[in-house]
């Protein structure tokens, strides 16, 4: 990193008026820096999705020319898309950041998997509990997450600095007032903070920013012919040979892409020919369902998100 500090470009970029993406960017960078200044051991939860991609990009900007002064944490369920893992390693290396990968090996060894285990139990064990265990094991006192308030009704209620008890529970009725851009980062013993720098971004802002900044994305966000299986109202992609078929299911090649990424046997793709960013954005303009519609995880019940958050889900 020492080299880059000395070799900064000295040509000066001319001023341009600030648009709303500039304001969102400035707000997020401010949040990232507040945490680094006030917390002892922050970490960035890196899911490798588009929101994580933007969050990582913002972190690199916030601390440039230094690398972001915290590690990346990936909770690997063991059922991640292969592309996701490759992209993850590439991006961590490019950012010059330590990458911590945590996996609930005990649960996996006990046979927990996305096919046999009921989805809520699977997510709790492989994602929620794995995350909580990783945060505890490393003693992180603040964790950045890429959640946005426009995603979901319970998220829309959450503060940017969101406190968790020693058991990682969220108490939505006792949130601290959060005025202006003044964040109270003081924790009681055992408490930790989830910090959401992208709180005020919308899905469209994320895409527009990715386009403007050239943020690298996992190829799965772009349409390609992939081996797919239709299951209920989800279109699943068979990412490796561990996929388990139900009677009567067949693999069909289809042109698909993803709006959101999770465990591959649980994440629905959308049929699409949009293979470039411009095409994806053009398609987004016609969209009439929210991105969460593609996640098996969130369908369980209306208040599922709030409940999961109370358990420690990000």
Partner 1 sequence: MDGRDSPLARAAAEPLAAPEGAAAPAPATGGLLRFLTCGSVDDGKSTLIGRLLHDCRALLEDQLAALAADSRRHGTQGDDLDFALLVDGLAAEREQGITIDVAYRYFATPRRKFIVADTPGHEQYTRNMATGASTADLAILLVDARKGVVTQTRRHATIAHLLGIRHLVLAVNKMDLVGFGEPVFAAIVAEFRAFADRLGIGEVVAIPLSALAGDNVTAPSARMPWHAGPTLLAHLETVEVDWDRARARPFRMPVQWVNRPDQTFRGFAGLVASGVIRPGDEVRVLPSGRTTRVARIVTMEGDLAEAAAGQSVTLTLADEVEAGRGSVIAAASAPPQVADQFEATIVWMDDAPLHVGRGYWLKLATQTVTATVAHPKHVLNVNTLEHLAAKTLEMNAIGVAEVRTDRPIVFEPYADSRTLGGFILIDRLTNRTVGAGMLHFALRRSQNVHWQALEISREARAALKNQKPAVLWFTGLSGSGKSTIANLVEKRLHRMNRHTFLLDGDNVRHGLCRDLGFTEADRIENIRRVGEVARLMADAGLIVITAFISPFRAEREMVRRMLPEGEFLEIFVDTPLEVAEARDVKGLYAKARRGELRNFTGIDSPYEPPEAPELRIDTTRTSPEEAARLVVARLLGED
Least separation in angstroms between CB 215 and partner 1: 12
Q: Which residues of 252-279 are buried (b: 16+ CB within 10 A; e: fewer)?
A: eebbbbbbbbbbbbbbbbbebebeebee
Considering only CA atoms, which of 293, 242, 294 is closest in space to residue 114? 242
Segment contacting partner 1 by CB under 8 A, of 44-52, 106-114, 252-260, 280-288: 280-288
Q: Is residue 288 close enough to count as binding partner 1 by CB under 8 A?
A: yes
Q: Is residue 109 close enough to count as binding partner 1 by CB under 8 A?
A: no
Token pair recorded at residue 123: 């997510």
Q: Is residue 40 close enough to count as binding partner 1 by CB under 8 A?
A: no
Q: How far apart are CA 262 and CA 49, in angstroms?
A: 8
Q: Helix or strand or coil: residue 160?
A: coil
Among 117, 119, 165, 290, binds partner 1 (CB under 8 A): 290
Q: Is residue 11 close enough to count as binding partner 1 by CB under 8 A?
A: yes
Among 121, 156, 166, 169, binds partner 1 (CB under 8 A): 156
Q: How far apart are CA 86 and CA 88, in angstroms?
A: 5
Residues in the chain: 314
Residue ranges in 115-144 that form contacts with partner 1 under rule CB under 8 A:
none
Among 211, 224, 251, 275, binds partner 1 (CB under 8 A): 211
Q: Is residue 166 close enough to count as binding partner 1 by CB under 8 A?
A: no
Least separation in angstroms between CB 290 and partner 1: 5
Residue 175: burial class (beta carbons within 10 Å; 0-12, 13-18, 19+): middle
Nearer to partner 1, 75 or 95 (CB): 95
> Applying CB under 8 A, what is the total number of residues that bind partner 1?
82
């Amino acid at each position: 990193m020492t080299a880059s500090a000395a070799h900064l470009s000295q040509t000066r970029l001319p001023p341009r008026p600030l648009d709303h993406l500039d304001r969102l960017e400035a707000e997020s960078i401010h949040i990232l820096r507040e945490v680094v200044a006030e917390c002892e051991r922050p970490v960035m939860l890196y899911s490798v999705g588009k929101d994580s991609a933007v969050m990582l990009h913002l972190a690199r900007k916030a601390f440039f020319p230094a690398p972001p002064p915290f590690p990346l944490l990936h909770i690997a369920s063991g059922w991640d898309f292969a592309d996701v893992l490759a992209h993850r390693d590439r991006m961590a290396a490019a950012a010059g950041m330590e990458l911590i990968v945590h996996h609930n090996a005990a649960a996996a060894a006990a046979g927990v998997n996305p096919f046999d285990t009921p989805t809520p139990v699977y997510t709790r064990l492989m994602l929620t509990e794995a995350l909580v265990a990783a945060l505890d094991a490393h003693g992180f006192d603040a964790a950045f997450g890429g959640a946005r308030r426009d995603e979901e009704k319970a998220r829309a209620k959450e503060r940017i600095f969101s406190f968790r008890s020693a058991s990682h529970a969220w108490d939505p009725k006792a949130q601290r007032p959060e005025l202006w851009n003044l964040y109270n980062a003081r924790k009681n013993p055992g408490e930790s903070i989830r910090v959401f720098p992208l709180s005020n971004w919308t899905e469209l802002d994320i895409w527009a920013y990715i386009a403007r900044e050239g943020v690298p994305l996992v190829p799965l966000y772009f349409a390609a012919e992939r081996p797919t299986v239709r299951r209920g109202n989800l279109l699943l992609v068979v990412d490796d040979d561990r996929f388990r078929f139900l009677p009567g299911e067949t693999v069909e090649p289809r042109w698909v892409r993803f709006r959101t990424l999770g465990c591959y046997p649980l994440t629905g793709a959308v049929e699409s020919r949009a293979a470039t960013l411009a095409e994806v954005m053009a398609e987004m303009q016609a969209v009439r369902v929210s991105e969460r519609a593609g996640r098996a995880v969130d369908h369980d019940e209306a208040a599922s998100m709030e409940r999961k958050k109370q358990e420690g889900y990000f």
